[in-house]
Structure 1
Amino acid sequence: MSGRLPRIGDWTDLDGLAKVQDSLLPGTLAAAAASPFYRTRRAGVPADRAGLAEYPLTTKDDLRDAYPFGMLAVDRSRLATYHESSGSTGTPTASYYTDADWVDLVDRYARMRVGIDKTDTFLVRTPYALMLTGHVAHAAARSCGATVVPADNRSLATPYAKVVRLLKDLDVTLTWSLPTDTLVWAAAARRAGLRPDRDFPALRALLVAGEPLSPARRDRIARVWGVPVVQEYGASETGGLAGECPHGEMHLWADRAIFEVYDPATGRISADGDGELVVTPLCREAMPLLRYHIGDRVEVSHRDCPCGWALPTVRVLGRFSAGAGITQLGLEELVFRLPAEYGVLFWRARHTASGLRVQIEVDDRHAAVASAGLLASIGTAHGLDAAVDAVPPGTLVPPGVLTAMPEVMKPRGLFTADEDWDRALRYY
C-alpha cells in the first residue's frame, strides 16, 4: 500500500465509498499476483471488480495448506511480524505483515469511538505471543501516546487477581479484552472486597473483541462496571474489520476492504444480508487475500446511520451452534435478560439428543426464580425441552481462579533443604 490511507470523510455516500474501493483494488490484485497461491489461481484477469469476481473464495483450509509462506507476496526481508491464529476452530493459520501493513492495522484500531490519547493508561488483556490482537492494541495505543500495561491473558504472571490490582493501583482508564474477561474481573474484584462500579473511578471504557457479544450481555457488563462497553471485530488474518461509530453501531471498514456475504445453503454471494462473511483487504502488501471466507455468521446492512459514515453495518453472530436453531449468541441473550439482581455472570449449555441442558451460577436465594425464568424464555424462543440447573457461585468459575497469585519461577538447579526441588528447571 503506497500513498495516503483513506480517512472517514473522504466520501459521503455509497457511490463515493465504491470509488475509494475501486481506486485501491488494482493494487490489491497486482500484489496478489506475486503470491504463489494466487499466481496459480487466475492469470490475466481484469484489475477491477469483474476480475475479482473471477476468483473463487479463499478458505481457511487454503491458508492451512499454504503454511507457512505460500501466501507471501513480498520478499521475506520486508516482513515486520509473523503471526498465527488461535486455532479455536481447527489448525492455526499463518499471517504476516510489512511495516506498511502495520500502519494500516494501527490506523484502523485507533478508530475506536472513545478515542485513545496520552492521558490514558491502557491495559491490554488479549494474547500477545503469536496472535495479532495484543500487538495491534499495544502499537495503536502507543501511537496515540497512551501508557500501555501489557497484561496478556495467556500468562501465569498476570492471573485475574493481579489484573484487578493493576486496574486499581495504576488508575487504568481503558482495557482491551474478551467480553468474558470483564465479567471474571468483576467476580475477582468482589472476592477482593471491591465494587467494580465504584472502586475503579479512573476507568472510562471497556474495549472488547474476540467473541460474539449479545446486547443483553453487553448491557450487563456496562451495568456491572458503570462504563461503556465498546466492541471491535476482526481476525488475525486481516486485523480489525469493523468498529463502532459514535452512535454505537458496528460498521465494517469498507474503505479498507471489500465485503461480501456468502449463503452456504445456496452458494449465493451478495453485498449484504444474512450469511457468512467474505473479505478482500485493500491495503495489504505481505499477504493479499482475495475473497477470504472467514466463516463468521453475520448480518450486513447498508441502512443509513446518524453518524453519516456511509459504511455498511454488521451484526456478528459467531460460528458456533448446537442444532435446533440454538446459537451461543441467542442463548446468551436469554441468560443475560434475567434481572441483574440475580447476579448471573457465568453460564454454560449443552444440546444433546435428550434436549438442552443449561447451567447458570446464581446465589441460592435467586436459584428457583432464575431457573424458572430462563426455562420459560428458552421454551418461548425455541419451543424445545430444556433443563436449567442453578449452581452455586464458584461452580463454573472456581474461587481459586479469582484469587490466585502469580506463580512464575525462573529455572534453577540449586535449592535449600526446605524448598520444593521438584520445581527445578521449570518456568511455572
Structure 2
Amino acid sequence: MQLPQIGDWSSFAELSRLQQARLPAVLAAAERSPFYRKRGVVDLADQPLTTKQDLREGYPFGLLACDRADLATYHESSGSSGEPTASYYTESDWLDLAERFARKWTGITPEDTMLVRTPYALMITGHLAHRAARLRGATVVPADNRSLATPYSRVVRLLHDLGVTLTWSLPTDALLWAAAAQVGGYRDFPSLRALFVGGEPVSPPKKARIARLWGAPVVEEYGATETGTLAGECEHGTMHLWADRAVFEVQDPATGELRPSGRGTLVVTPLYREAMPLLRYAIEDEVEVAYRDCPCGWQLPAVRVLGRAGGDGPTQLGLEELVFSLPDDFGVWFWGALVDGDALRVEIEVADRWRAAATTTLTAALRTALPGFASVVVPAPPGELVPHRLLTAPAEVMKPRGLFRAGEDWDRALRYY
C-alpha cells in the first residue's frame, strides 16, 4: 500500500482531493466489519458518528474488517473516560502508524538512542514509539511507565549513562525526571536533543519550562489508542493534523453540526486502516482546528487540543498555564487542585524562601482569571506532593518463589501476587 508523504501536495485543495480519492476504499473496508455492515455504510457526508460506546458494545471484534489471521496486535485504551475500548492492527496498519509517529521535525536517525517511557501494555503508546524508532534505525531503550523495574532513579541513570538523545513520555514525566536528577545529584545530560511528549494536554508555559530545565526542545504530539498519532508539532511550534492520513471534522457541541474547522469536539476518519476502519469516530476531545499557512510549508490544518469536552469552570490546562507562568526561580513544578462548588483550592510545592511570593502571585492570577471562584493557594514544602522516596526508590525485580532465607525482606518479596 502506497502511503502519502509530506510534500505530495502543495495546497489545501490538493490535500482535499487526496482525501476524496481515498474515501471509496475506506467505505468499502468498513462494510467488511460486522458493526458497519449492520449499521449500513453511506457517503461520509451522511454517515452518523461512531462513538466510544459503539466500540465498547462491539467488544472485542465487532469492528474487525479482516481475517483474524491477518492481525498483528490487539490493544485496549486506558479507560480514562470510561470502560476501555478495543482496537487492532495489521502489519500494513502498523507501517502507517509508525510513519505518522516518526514525522518529528527533529528527525529520528540511526545515530539516536530513544528512551520510551510510556506503557508497553495493552495501550498502543509504547509499542508505537518503539516501532517508529526502529523504522528510522534508532536504538530503543524500553523503559516502560511507572514500572517497579524502572523507577525514576533508574530512568535518570539511563538518560545520563547511555547518552540518550530522544525521549518519549508524558510531559509531567519529564518534570519528575528533572526532580529525580536533582535529588540524585545528576546535572549534565549533554546528549539529549529533544523530548517527545504526548498523552496529556500541555500548556505553552509548561512546555517552555520543561525545555528550559533540560536544555532541549519539547516536541508534542496528539493521538489515541484507537487511531494512533493524529497530529504532530512542526519546528515553528504549530500542531498539525495528519490530514493526508485521516479526514478530520469538528462537531459543534450545541448544534451537532460537523465542519472542517472551528472549535468543538474532534471527529476522525482514518484513511489507511485495514483491521478496524472507523467512520466519523468521535474522539471526545475539545479542539480548535484552523486551515492557515504555516512557515513550515506542510499545508496541513493546525489544531489546538483543549482536553476532554464538557464541564464549566476551571480546566486543568487553564490552571496549569497559571502555575507554570510563575517565575522559574520559584521552582514550582508540581501542583494539584480541588474544585468544590465555587471554591478552588490549589496546592503547590515550593521552597520556603519563595513561599510568600509564589502564594501571592498565584492567588492574584487565579482571582483575575477566575473571578467567580473563591481561590486559595496552599504552599507545601518540596517532597510533599511528590515524595522524595518516589524519586529515589530502587528497582524491585523478583521472580515468584516459595523459599526464603533468614534476613531476606519477606514482606516486600514478590511471591505469587
Q: TM (normalized to structure 1)?
A: 0.95
Residue pairs, 1:184-199, within 5 angstroms: 184-195=176-187, 199=188
The answer (yes or no) to whether the contact 1:128–1:134 under 8 Å persists in 2 is yes
Residue 248 of structure 1 is matched in structure 2 by 237
For 1:48, the equivalent position in structure 2 comes to: none
Aligned mates of 1:175, 1:112 — CA distance in 2: 12
Which of residues 353, 356, 366 is equivalent to 1:365? 353
- Structure 1: state its 5+ residue gaps: 46-50
What is the distance in 1 between the residues matched to 2:258 and 2:338?
A: 32
Partner of 2:211: 222
Q: Distance in 1 between matches of 2:339 and 2:225?
A: 30
Q: Distance in 2 between matches of 1:354 and 1:377?
A: 16
* Equivalent residue runs for 1:56-135 within 5 Å: 56-135=48-127
- Map of 2:327 onto structure 1: 339
What's 1:31 paired with?
29
Q: Distance in 2 between matches of 1:218 and 1:339?
A: 14
Distance 1:263 1:423 in 2: 52
Q: Does 1:414 align with 2:412?
A: no
1:426 Cα deviation after fit: 2.2
Given the alignment of the two structures, is residue 395 of structure 1 paired with residue 393 of structure 2, yes or no? Answer: no
Q: What does the per-residue CA deviation read over 1:25-45, in whole Å, with 9 as the maximum and x for residues that have no partner? A: 1111000000111111125x3
1:168 aligned onto 2:160: yes
Q: Is the 8 A contact 1:346 1:360 kept in 2?
A: yes
Identity over aligned pairs, percent: 66
**Which residue matches 1:42?**
40
Residue 212 of structure 1 pairs with residue 204 of structure 2: no
Amino acid at match of 1:79: L
- Asked if the contact 1:64–1:91 (Cα under 8 Å) also holds between the matched residues in 2, the reply is yes
Q: 2:287 aligns with which of 285, 298, 301?
A: 298
Q: Is this contact kept in 1: 2:284–2:309, CA < 8 A? A: no
| 3-state DSSP of counterpart to 1:243 | strand
Name the counterpart of 2:318.
330
Residue 300 of structure 1 aligns to a residue whose secondary structure is strand
Deviation at 1:422, TM superposition (A): 4.8
Give the CA deviation at 1:82.
Answer: 0.3
Letter aligned with residue 325 of structure 2: R
1:12 maps to a residue whose letter is S
Tell me if the contact between 1:320 and 1:328 (Cα under 8 Å) persists in the aligned partners.
no
Aligned partners of 1:291, 1:170: CA distance in 2, in Å?
43
Contact 2:402 2:415 in 1 (8 A): no
2:299 alignment partner, one of 287, 307, 310 = 310
2:130 maps to amino acid: H
1:14 to 12, 15, 18: 12
Question: Whole-Å Cα distance in 2 between the matches of residues 327 and 422 of structure 1?
Answer: 41
Question: For the Cα contact (< 8 Å) 1:320–1:327, is it kept in 2?
Answer: no
Corresponding residue for residue 181 of structure 1? 173
Cα offsets for 1:353-374 (capped at 9, x unmatched): 2511100100011111111111
Q: Deviations for 1:276-300, whole angstroms, at most 9, x for unmatched residues?
A: 1000000000000000000011110
Contact 1:171 1:200 in 2 (8 A): yes
Paired letter, 2:7: G
Shift, 1:23, TM fit:
1.4
Query: What CA deviation, in whole Å up to 9, does each residue of 1:301-342 have, x standing for no partner?
Result: 001111111110001011177632x11111100100000000
Contact 1:409 1:427 in 2 (8 A): no
Summarize deviations over 1:123-178 as a string: whole Å, max 9, x none. Answer: 00000111101001001101111110000004210000000000001000000000
Structure 2 residue ranges without an equivalent (≥5): none
Q: Which amino acid aligns with 2:307?
A: G
Count, aligned residues = 416
User: Which secondary structure state, in structure 2, belongs to the residue aligned with residue 97 of structure 1?
Assistant: strand
1:418 Cα shift?
A: 2.4
State the Cα distance separating 1:193 from its structure 2 match. Answer: 1.4
TM-superposed deviation, 1:424: 6.3
CA deviation digits over 1:78-117, x for unaligned, max 9? 0000001111111111000001000100111111111001
Amino acid at match of 1:388: V
Distance 2:356 2:86 in 1: 48
Change in CA separation of 1:289 and 1:247 when aligned onto 2, cut-off 3 Å? same
Code of the residue aligned with 1:408 in structure 2: it is V
SS of match in other structure, 1:190: helix
